[in-house]
Structure 1
């Protein structure tokens, strides 16, 4: 065998090894994807469901040219719809927003655990004393209050982990948006609680994980 034939033979061997390695890598990737699909098919993971149950308004008014004071307490419930997956709520920050602008400081909820089909309930206070707002918002707020109805969004930013058996996943970002329609003009829509007014809402929230 000549040196040229020997070199060609070695080249063919390398090509075969590369093909075998590529096939092995492809088979491994397909196996991992199949396992992930099978786990998903068995577990059917579903994101938690949040409901804004009520909101108690202690203060919501303009305090100065472009400052908004808003103090309220909200009641939120979360349900884990999964039958085989538990949820760790590692961090949940709750705040209120008006016309896409944050109007209260974030309130940190305690870390919590949610078992299969369990329901958790939180009732945080949200405070925003003399928060600067865009000049146009003061006019829009005055118009909404004159109309008797305004929309406040109660939002949650957090981190969650999933637990399946003894396996615990990494942290995932949780974003929840709960619209609260407050009718200031009609007192029949709220229940007086001392100097405050409590509104029963039972409003479904939009959840992204």
Structure 2
């Protein structure tokens, strides 16, 4: 009977110790989380701002009702509006869509850190050769090309991390959509500049950003 009481006493003591440890860990985690939330609320982080500055069209062809080939160089301006928060851009991809269908492959934008109020400008080539699309998109694009008015979306997808002092958050998904209204074939309508076999169109269009 004496041994059973001793064992029972040790078990109860161990349970109380484990409960205290768990309670301490929970309190510490709560304090850390509360501190991060307070700092985050004080700093008021803002989403990065993106502008599609121009698009240079090297080729935009319809070879069949369901086949499109595209080569575009897009210049994208990005600014960090935060004065106390830096932004790490990680795993960024850019591509183009037409009528809700992707018409180019993914082009990778190298990872970069954007400091407080800093600006980055990217001018990647976006291309797709003989990309299959819905049968109605080929004739639709041919009609837009004949009318000299093509609308496509330049999209950026990736992940970002926020940096506050020495603290860096986890990754957040970044989605950027830039609307490009291109008066293709009409250089006088929208400041089109002929560059060899290509035409550069000034756009200066703000992009929608979600994080």
Tell whether the structures are fold-level matches, with TM greater than 0.5: yes
Asked if structure 1 preserves the Cα contact closer than 8 Å seen for 2:51 and 2:206, the reply is yes
Partner-residue secondary structure (3-state), 1:38: helix
Larger mean CA deviation between 60-69 and 105-114 belongs to 60-69
Counterpart for residue 121 of structure 2:
121
Report the alpha carbon displacement of residue 71 of structure 1 after superposing the two structures with TM.
0.3
Counterpart for residue 177 of structure 2:
177
Counterpart for residue 187 of structure 1:
187
Partner-residue secondary structure (3-state), 1:187: coil
Partner-residue secondary structure (3-state), 2:136: helix
Counterpart for residue 142 of structure 2:
142
Matched, 1:58 2:58: yes
Report the alpha carbon displacement of residue 86 of structure 1 after superposing the two structures with TM.
0.2
Report the alpha carbon displacement of residue 31 of structure 1 after superposing the two structures with TM.
6.2
TM alignment of 1:1-209, pairs within 5 A: 35-188=35-188, 189=190, 190-209=192-211
Deviations for 1:157-208, whole angstroms, at most 9, x for unmatched residues?
1011000000000011000000000002422121101000000111100000
Change (3 A) 1:33 1:164: closer
Counterpart for residue 6 of structure 1:
none
Question: After the TM superposition, which segments of 4 or more aligned residues of structure 1 sit over 2 Å from their partners?
Answer: 27-38
Structure 2: state its 5+ residue gaps: 1-23
Distance 2:33 2:172 in 1: 20
Distance 2:176 2:130 in 1: 25
What is the RMSD of the two structures over their aligned residues, measured on CA atoms? 2.1
Q: TM-score, normalised by structure 2?
A: 0.82
Structure 1: state its 5+ residue gaps: 1-23
Partner-residue secondary structure (3-state), 1:139: helix
Distance 2:117 2:205 in 1: 20
Distance 2:104 2:123 in 1: 15
Partner-residue secondary structure (3-state), 1:63: strand
Q: TM-score, normalised by structure 1?
A: 0.82
Distance 2:130 2:205 in 1: 28
